Amino acid sequence: MKRQHDSLIVRTMSRMLIPLAQLFACYVLFFGQYGPGGGFVAGVIWTTSLILTFLVFGLKSPQGRLVERMLHGDGAGLIIFVGVGGLCLIGGGEFLNYQHLEIPGLEAAERRYVGIVLTQIGVAADVAVTGISIVVSLAFHDTQREYHV
């Protein structure tokens, strides 16, 4: 897992499949308001594409490094979620009441649309990062250490 996969077939197939999976994740994310899907599912699909990335190209490759860097965005998704909810709270409504999302020049329905999309993006980002961090910590965990607390 630390280095590139040997088989050319696997590498070529992954090069095709990974963008496809990510595109599908985006579709599920933005289609989530009208049909089955949404942030969680999109996040999971996105995670599978990222896990495939470093299974095939290794954690040391440029692609793998990109995935590793994403781990630093640990709470970013949650910040988006809480931020949108908090803006609604500041706008005078309940937490996550998108009608009170004070964005100038938007109708009530459009505010709800924007609010839901933003929250779903937050959820998707968080699920994706959590998924990768589970896999990375299972695969590349430190040796057992004694801590003093």
Partner 1 sequence: MMRHLPAIIFLLPLALAICMPLLGMRKQAWCRPLAIIAMAVMALVAFVNLVGVVQTGGIHYEFGGWAAPVGIEWVNDGLASVMIMALSVMALVCVIFISSVLFPNLGTRVVHFYTLVLLLVAGLVGIVFAGDLFNLFVFLEVSALCGYALVGLAGGKALVAGFRYLILGTFGASLYLLGVGYFYAETGTLNMADLALRIPDLVSSKAVAVGILFMFIGLGIKMALVPLHGWLPDAYTYAPDRVTPMLASLVTKAALLGWVRILFWVLGAKAVIFQIPVLFLVGFLGAVAALIGAFLALSQEDIKRMFAYGGLSHIGLILVGISMGNHTGFSGGLFYLLTDAVMQGGLFFWAGALIHLYGIRTIHDLSRLREAPGWLSGVLVVLAMSMIGIPPTGGFFGKWYIVLGAIEARNYLAIVAVLIATLLTLAYFVKLFERIFRDRVAGQVETVRDIPLAVRICLGTASASAVILGLLSDQVIGFLLRTAIPPGL
Residue placing its CB nearer to partner 1 in the complex, 69 or 145: 145
Q: In the complex, what is the shortest distance from the CB of residue 122 to partner 1, in angstroms, rounded to a whole number?
A: 11
- The binding site for partner 1 (CB under 8 A) comprises 74-75, 78-79, 82, 85-86, 89, 93-99, 144-149
Q: What is the closest distance, in whole angstroms, from the C-beta atom of residue 15 to partner 1 in the complex? A: 33
Q: How many helices (H) and strands (E) does the chain have?
A: 5, 0
Give the residue with the Cβ less far from partner 1, 27 or 94: 94
Cα three-residue angle 134-138-142, rounded to 5 degrees: 120
76 token code pair: 């970013």
> Which phi and psi (to 5°) does residue 11 adopt?
-65, -45
- C-alpha distances (whole Å) from 146 to each of 32, 140, 142, 149 are 45, 18, 12, 10
CB 56, CB 10: distance < 8 Å = yes
Nearer to partner 1, 6 or 142 (CB): 142
Amino acid letter at 47?
T
To partner 1, the closest distance from the beta carbon of 100 in angstroms equals 8
Which lies closer to partner 1 via its Cβ, residue 55 or residue 79?
A: 79
| Complex with partner 1: residue 94 or 102, whichever CB lies closer | 94
Distance in Å, CB of 115 to partner 1, minimum: 9
The least CB distance from residue 75 to partner 1, in Å, is 4
3-class secondary structure, 142: coil
